[in-house]
Structures are given as C-alpha cells and as structure tokens.
Amino acid sequence: MTDKKFYDDIPGTVVFDSDQATKGYHLNQFCISLRLQANRDAYKADPENYIDQFPMTPEQREAALNQQWNRLLELGGNIYYTSKLGAFHGINFQELAGLMTGMGSTAYREMMISGGRSIEGNRYASEWKDK
C-alpha cells in the first residue's frame, strides 16, 4: 500500500482506489459471488463454510459475517460489491446507505432528494486541503 494520500481524510469517506481494490480483492469476490442464486443458496445453508472459499483477512471475514457495513469499506470493500451482500440480507441500496450514514433510509432519501449532504464540514481536514 502507498503512503498517505491527499484524500485520506475526507470526513466520513473511504475512497476506493487501487490500494483499496488490492486490499479488498477477495472480500469483493465473495460479495459479487452472491449475484448467483446457487451461491446465495450455498451461503444461506452454511455461511462459515461458504465464506471460507475466499482467502480474506480475519477482519474482513468477521465484518462480512456480522454485516459491519462501514467496516467492509474500510477493509477494501467496494460499495457496489458489498451491496450484493446487503441484498442477500434483504437490504436495498437506499436502506444500506441509510444504515451506513446512521440516518435511516427515510432521512437519507430526503437528504438526497434535497440535494445531498452539505459541502460544509465535508472537505479535507488536513494540510492537503489547499494543495
């Protein structure tokens, strides 16, 4: 992984870049595998056995098994892949975003319809902000 990047401290944001993609490769492969019914059936029947097919870190495995949505992103998960795991659990994308922001799906939807989150307080917090 590379050194600190100018976007590492955007409040509340994990930027999915090449380092995150590398870190989360096996986690993302697990999540995207759930797009197929046979794989969903296998995961439902025996989550521990199914997930062991993917050589994830213990932290990734725990986050996936315990539906720790923000942690999955921190550990290299791509939101579009991890949303497949959410869908497996009956959580649609809007509900997932509501869970991840702590707002709930209704408040999240209203915020997005109103133009999204305010830029105030959501810019870089470090010395990188003016570079």
pLDDT in tens, 57-99: 999 999 999 999 999 999 999 999 999 999 999 999 889 988 8
Residue 99 forms part of a structural domain: no
Residue 5 lies in a domain: no
The whole-angstrom separation of Cα 127 and Cα 18 is: 23
Taking all residues of the chain, what is their mean pLDDT, rounded to a whole number?
A: 88
Position 2 in a domain: no
Element (H, E) at 48: helix 47-51
Cα separation, 39 vs 83, in Å, equals 15
Q: Domain count of the chain? A: 1
pLDDT (0 to 100) of residue 4: 80
Specify the CATH number for the domain of residue 38: 1.10.700.10
Q: What is the pLDDT of residue 8?
A: 76
Whether 94 and 79 have beta carbons less than 8 Å apart is answered as no
